[in-house]
Amino acid sequence: MSNLSSPILQLSFLGTIRLRVVRRSLLVVTLIVLATAALFVVQLLTGTFPIAVSRVWATLTGHGTAVEEFVVYTLRLPRALTAVLAGAALGGSGAVYQSVTRNPLGSPDIIGFTYGASFGAVLSIVVLGSSDVAVTISALAGGLGVALLVYLLSMRGGVQGYRLILVGIGISSVLAALVSYLLLKANIIDAQEAYVWLTGSLNGSTWSDVWIGLVGLAVLGPVLVGLGPGLRLAEMGDQAALGLGVHVGRNRLCALGFGAALCAIAVVCAGPITFISLAAPQIARRLTGTPTVRVIPSMAVGALLLLGSDALAQKLFPQSQLPVGITTLALGGGYLAWLIAREGRSRIG
Amino acid sequence: MTMLAADPVTDPAEENAAARRRSALVAGLVVCLAALGVVMLLSIGVGARNLSPATVWDALVHGRGGEAELIVRHLRVPRTAAGLLVGAALGLAGALMQALTRNPLADPGLLGVNAGAACAVVCAIAFLRITQPGAYVWFALLGAGVATVAVYLLGSGRGAASPVRLVLAGTAITAVLTGVISAVVLTNSIAFNGFRSWTVGSLQNVTASVVVQVVPFLAVGIVCALASGSALNAMALGDQLATALGARMARIRFLGIVTTTLLCGAATAVAGPITFVGLVVPHTVRAFTGPDNRWILPYSMVVGAILVLTSDVIGRVVLWPSELEVSVVTAVIGAPVFIQIVRRRRLAQL
Amino acid sequence: MTPPLPDQLRLGRRGLLSAMAGGAAAFAVQGCTNSALDDPSSTTSGSGASSGGASFPVTVEHRFGQTTIPAEPQRILALGQTDCDPLIALGITPIAIGSFAEKWYTPVHPWNEHGFGGAKPEEVSFVEIEFEKLAALQPDLITMVSGGISQGDYKTLSKIAPVVGPPKGYQDSAVPYGPHTVLIGQTVGREEEAKQIVADVDAKYDAVRQAHPEWDGLTTIHAESFTGAFDVLGRNAPRSTFLTSVGLALSPELDKLAGTQYSKEISAEQLDLVGDLDVVIWMTDPGAIADLQSNPVVSRLKVVEDGRSVWTTYVKTDEFMWSMDWNTVLSGPYAIDLGVPLLEDALAGKSPISAGND
């Protein structure tokens, strides 16, 4: 770039790069959305309960038997929809956090949200023996309560990013220890139920999960996409790549808040499948070839990753009902490892 | 490793201040060591069974068989030794890890140590039907070692391992291993049960033979870690120097990672994961010592040991006659102190 | 929640935080009784829980509310861990039974295998419920009486067929054979028969107490050791109720410690509380009995030195342990047949090892 002396030339050069990046992003996002749609259909048509393709169509148009309606409407449809919505929410919230903290480990975890939610949920499953709505409410209360606590504890004449992260670490590690402790002291069935929740599961997704995800994404998605350009600007204007030391501006605080809310929605729908918020932005960045993480591609990758993980879990291990979080970890982790390895060979990155 | 002169100080006034600071730090370390001695005595004297100090002393020195000797010699002494070693190792490993990656979110588990150890233990229970905790040690060590090698290879690619790539590689490998662990434990309740108890780090069931097995690993790790202070300081100076030093930086990073794995792997093999210590002790220590790794390392070692032993003693008392696992106590009593320090102090960043 | 399991599995091997198990049950009972969650397709008429004959529809009450069974069920899915036993005792073979569906575990034992006529029953997981698979089995009744079901799963299952949950007022891991059998009897319209079966089992325990008056007042406890830690079972745990049913008394100190919790961890330094009892039943991992016996903190206990201990594991062939742990109308008599000689041997100082532990 050093031989581009004229500022105008330089600008137009950057513009071309920008255009190319945008075009590639658009193409990648479109392909991912198409793949997600195809997988969605496959998920509706297949499962342990044998239903012919024609019967699925009949059921969807209101002509199915009671059992077929149960399988398609109560089990498969909400499950697939929840996967797409929760995946997109996690991908989006991860992108925001990694962008704001400029740290590939940045996720709503750092403000303690997920640990708070996990603690709330496990406490309610294991100690109170509650389920469903109560678990959801305690998870939400735990997550928001802890996020607020971390925020308040980090305040000292304004919130400093570095302090926020350290306080988050402190609180999160306490909660992580307490969660393991509760799992250990509970009876085995409760403990397994709680562990499945912690892993993140779509077995038992209901329509209420779908509505929560849909409304949340419809409200918060556009806000985050709108905040994107401002965040990227801030990201480029700062040298400290990992320092996290700058004061968190209002714009960033907003982003953190909305990002946490988006993550909360996913946690409520499907449990803390947090690995998606970690992996999706990194995978999307490498697919689209953008220098920084972006919200929309991350959401698309997140949706595909979660739906794909669920499909894989169901098809590979039909007997064992493995929660989706497991395949998410294996698939997302494996893919991320492959991307890193490839980068290592070509010496980009 | 210790080639780089520390601070080229010339101004006599500054030199004076530096000297004063150094003696303050030495004094602080002596106080910490004294506190460690007190906690060790408490750890041998306090437990679910009430024994008078005289009885404890008698059992410790003369033996003479019987209940008291059994409790003091077979239960409390190995446990105290384990707490001392585990705490020191984890404190050091955490300080090393944060200096190497310059990432405040980095804990030794990031290299895949905890996930690797847990995965090996879970597989040993599920597939080899091993249920005796004494046998977990070697599996945990092996798992930790293999996982770290994988992370390092993935993170370094052709060139030297950069901190960011190392962190991402650790994340990816940990994710895959966690997936394997979850898949095994959710399809095998026996393994789940072993896993959930292993995963709450505890010194309760440590036997003397287990401690003896890991001492060589820890000894090598501790010596290497303590010797690496200046080298880590040089590394912290940043990229220009790092490039100037070239290959040496890569070697330091490699040695640092081997050392971290030895320390954290052996500690985890003995007690199970106690993540709080490695993560938080170095941050806490840094608030007092400043960014000089030659001080952060020994302080982290001693404070780590104090934290673990104190937590273990408290854990024996609060739920009497049951016990609270040391990893839980460590986090619960350590966090408020840590947050207080983070709030009060001007933070020395990495 | 669900019943029998080696409590290593059921509870943390290091014991249970006070009030956890009790709190869980109490909450569930209070929170769920008044919700009308019965199968929407069924009618709400019926003769109520007191119905003794086979007049359907039948309505039964349980933790999650009321459930109406419209007609005599023909395809019963016994999802609760031990629900197959009362059904088999009533002469009914379920179409599938709940299980951990793992290698180390089996729901088929000598006391209930006759109910399956030599065939291997279909096992379905009650840990992670496979709804599509259950729907494909087309049951007309699902029982989850021995616990382990969440309210959300209850709701979803209710869309497949009427579901009967655990009886009100009992902890999940501790539904005694009486209420367990009577509720299932009501559900299939055979309450009187069920009550008679329960009375017969009660009589068998009475007979043991009469045959062994010398056991009256002897102190005992169920002690466990897993991965080096120790715990003792509380009074409501099925294996504890077996010991008290044959006339032994739980150690007052340990009973006070454990209370209504399933089990309570004790420190190795406190093991003399176990060592000073008259007879103790130990449980550990399969293959680990010798290790436990030679553990220095165990071998020095009086109850071990004198041979007054029975040694068990959760290996699936240890039928004494499993029959105590299932605590059903079928497994109880079996536990008596196996356990009384073992207890006699232990009190004679023979340190017996339960059969099935190679």
CA separation for the pair A233, A246 (Å, rounded): 14
The reply to whether residue B175 touches residue A183, judged by beta carbons under 8 angstroms, is no
Contacts of A279 in chain B (CB under 8 A): 172, 175
ipTM for the assembly: 0.80
Segment B164-216, tens digit of pLDDT: 777 778 888 888 998 999 989 888 888 888 888 888 888 887 888 888 888 99
Q: Which residues pair with A155 in a beta bridge?
A: A159
Lowest mean pLDDT among B105-109, B276-280, C270-274, C291-295: B105-109
pLDDT of A7: 47
Beta strands in C147-248 (DSSP E): 163-164, 219-226, 229-233
Q: How far apart are CA A182 and CA B90, in angstroms?
A: 24
Mutate to test the interface with A, among B342, B344, B346 (most CBs of A within 10 A): B342
Contact C339, C324 (CB under 8 A): yes
Establish if A196 touches chain C: CB-CB under 8 angstroms.
yes
- Looking at per-residue pLDDT, the higher value among A266 and B238 belongs to A266
Question: Angle, nearest 10°, between helix axes B229-236 and B247-271?
Answer: 120
Query: Is residue C137 within a helix (H) or strand (E), and if so which, with residue range?
Result: helix C131-137
Residue A84 and residue A303 in contact, taking contact as beta carbons nearer than 8 Å: yes
- Rounded to a whole number, what is the distance in Å from the CA of B269 to chain C's nearest CA? 14
Which residues in chain A have Cβ-Cβ distances shorter than 8 Å to C11?
Answer: 185-188
Q: What is the mean pLDDT of chain A?
A: 80
What is the band of C82 on the pLDDT scale with cuts at 50, 70, 90?
very high
**pLDDT category of residue B219 using cuts at 50, 70 and 90:** very high
Q: Give the integer Cα–Cα distance in Å for B100 and B90.
A: 15
Cα separation, C349 vs C342, in Å, equals 11
CA dist., res. B72 & res. B44, Å (int):
7
Instruction: Read off the amino acid at residue B304.
Output: G
| Least confident range of A59-68, A312-321, C8-17, C57-66 | C8-17
DSSP state at residue C353:
B
Residue A345 has pLDDT above 70, yes or no: no
Residues of C with CB under 8 A from a CB of B: 5, 8-9, 12-15, 100, 102-105, 127-128, 226-229, 257, 264-270, 272, 285-288, 291, 296-297, 300
Distances (CA, A) of C225 to A75, A100, B10, C300: 42, 50, 65, 15
A9 contact partners, CB below 8 Å, separation of at least 6: none
In one-letter notation, the amino acid at residue B310 is: T
Predicted confidence at residue C66, as pLDDT, reads 92
* Cα–Cα dist B205/B208, whole Å: 10
Distance CA A314, CA A80 (A): 12
The reply to whether residue B185 touches residue A104, judged by beta carbons under 8 angstroms, is no
User: Which pLDDT band holds residue A346 (cuts at 50, 70, 90)?
Assistant: low
Q: What is the pLDDT of residue A298?
A: 92
Residue A349 has pLDDT above 80, yes or no: no
Look up tokens 């729901």; give the residue.
Answer: C107
Average pLDDT over residues B280-293: 85
Residue of C nearest to B315 (CA): C267
Distance (Å, whole) CA B305 – CA A25: 51
The reported pLDDT for the residue numbered A158 is 61
Return the pLDDT at C35: 34
Q: Give dist(CA A105, CA A278) in Å, integer.
A: 7
Inter-axis angle of helices B275-289 and B77-101, nearest 10: 60
C40 pLDDT tier (thresholds 50, 70, 90): very low
Residue located via tokens 């994710």: B175
Contact yes or no for B274/B281 (Cβ under 8 A): no
CB contact under 8 A, C12 and A192: no
> Considering CB atoms only, which of A154, A162, A330 is closest to B179?
A330
Residue B113 is predicted with a pLDDT of 86
Host H or E run for residue C78? strand C76-78
* Cross-chain residue pair B67–C288, CB shorter than 8 Å: no
Residues 6+ apart with CB under 8 A from A39: A304, A307, A308, A311
Q: Which residues of chain A does C153 touch, with a Cβ-Cβ cutoff of 8 Å?
A: 131, 204
- CA A170 to chain B, closest CA, distance in angstroms equals 5
Cα B124 to Cα C182: distance, rounded to the nearest angstrom:
43
Q: Is the pLDDT of residue B261 over 70?
A: yes
C99-111 average pLDDT score: 87
* B275-292: average pLDDT: 85
Q: Is the pLDDT of residue C48 over 70?
A: no
pLDDT tens profile A74-129: 889 999 999 999 999 999 988 888 887 777 767 777 777 888 989 998 998 888 76
- Which range (A181-185, B252-256, B283-287, C24-28) has the least confidence? C24-28
Report whether C243 contacts C281 (CB < 8 A). yes
> B with C: how many residue pairs have Cβ under 8 Å apart?
87
Q: Are A251 and A226 in contact (CB under 8 A)?
A: no
CA B203 – CA C179 distance, rounded (Å):
42
- Confidence check: pLDDT of C324 > 60: yes
B325-339 confidence digits (pLDDT tens)? 999 999 888 888 888
Q: Distance between terminal CA atoms of chain B?
A: 20
Residue in A173, A174, A322 closest to B186 by CB:
A322
Predicted pLDDT at B247: 58
User: Is B189 close to C268, i.e. CB distance below 8 A?
Assistant: no
* Pair type for strands C219-226 and C229-233: antiparallel
- Structural contact between residues C125 and C100, judged by C-beta atoms closer than 8 angstroms: yes
Highest mean pLDDT pick, B66-70, C103-107, C116-120, C139-143:
C139-143
Give the amino acid at A44: L
List the single range of A245-259, A310-324, C262-276 with lowest mean pLDDT. Answer: A245-259
Token look-up 């201040």 returns B17
Residue B161, pLDDT score: 56
- Cβ atoms within 10 Å, residue A342: 13
Cβ contact C10–A130 (<8 Å)? no
Integer Rg of chain A from CA: 21
DSSP codes joined into one string, A48-72? SS---HHHHHHHHTT---HHHHIII
Q: State the pairing for strand pair C263-266/C229-233.
A: antiparallel
User: Which of A6-10, A294-298, A327-331, B27-31 is the least confident region?
Assistant: A6-10
Q: Are C139 and C75 in contact (CB under 8 A)?
A: yes
Nearest CA in chain C to A46: C132
Residue type, A42: V
CB C10 within 8 Å of CB C236: no
Q: Pairing relation of β-strands C123-125 and C96-99?
A: parallel
Chain C: partners with 3+ C-beta pairs within 8 Å:
A, B
Task: Note if the bond before C57 is cis, omega within 30 degrees.
Answer: yes
> What confidence score (pLDDT) does residue A321 get?
76
pLDDT digits (tens, 9 = 90+) for A270-279: 888 878 888 8
pLDDT > 70 in chain B, percent: 88
Average pLDDT over chain C reads 82
Please name the chains neighbouring A, where neighbouring means 3+ C-beta pairs under 8 angstroms.
B, C
The reply to whether residue A180 touches residue B185, judged by beta carbons under 8 angstroms, is no
Query: Alpha carbon A196 to chain centroid distance?
Result: 17
Of A181, A202, A205, A201, which is closest to residue A191 (Cα–Cα)?
A181
Query: Contact, C137 vs C98, CB < 8 A?
Result: no
pLDDT for C160-188, tens place per residue? Answer: 999 999 998 888 778 899 999 999 999 99
pLDDT tops 70 at residue A177 = yes
Q: Which residues of A are less than 8 Å from C133 in CB distance?
A: 48-49
Interface with chain C: mutation pick from A189, A310, A320, highest number of C CBs within 10 Å: A189
**Chain C contact for A187, CB < 8 A?**
yes
Which DSSP symbol is given to C213? G
Predicted local distance difference test score (pLDDT) of residue A243? 40
Q: Are C272 and B48 an interchain contact pair (Cβ–Cβ within 8 Å)?
A: no
Start-to-end C-alpha separation, chain C: 30
CB–CB of B103 and A345 under 8 A? Answer: no
* B328–A181 C-beta distance less than 8 A: yes
Label residue A143 by pLDDT band (50, 70, 90). Answer: confident
A67 in contact with C at a CB cutoff of 8 Å? yes
- Whole-number pLDDT of residue B238: 63
pLDDT at C91 over 90: yes
Q: According to the per-residue pLDDT averaged within each range, which of A19-23, A109-113, B314-318, C30-34 is highest?
A: B314-318
Contacts with B204 from chain C: Cβ below 8 Å: 14, 228-229, 267-268
- Nearest CB neighbour to C265, from listed B187, B190, B322: B322
pLDDT of the residue at B258: 87
Instruction: Check CB contact under 8 Å for B49 and C297.
Output: no
- pLDDT band (50, 70, 90) for residue B314: very high
Distance from CA of C102 to the nearest CA of A (A): 10
Whether residue A18 has pLDDT greater than 50: yes
Local confidence band at C254 (pLDDT 50, 70, 90 cut-offs): very high
Environment class of C247 (CB within 10 Å of its CB; exposed 0-12, middle 13-18, buried 19+): buried
* Residue whose C-alpha is closest to residue A181's, from C26, B319, C270, B326: B326
Q: How far is C188 from chain A (nearest CA, A)?
A: 23
- Taking contacts as CB-CB distances below 8 angstroms, the residues of chain C near B75 are 268-269, 297
Q: What is the spatial distance between Cα C72 and Cα A144, in angstroms, rounded to a whole number?
A: 50
CB contact under 8 A, A340 and B165: yes
Structure tokens at C334: 């079996």
Tens of pLDDT along A34-78?
A: 999 999 999 988 888 888 888 888 888 888 888 888 888 888 999
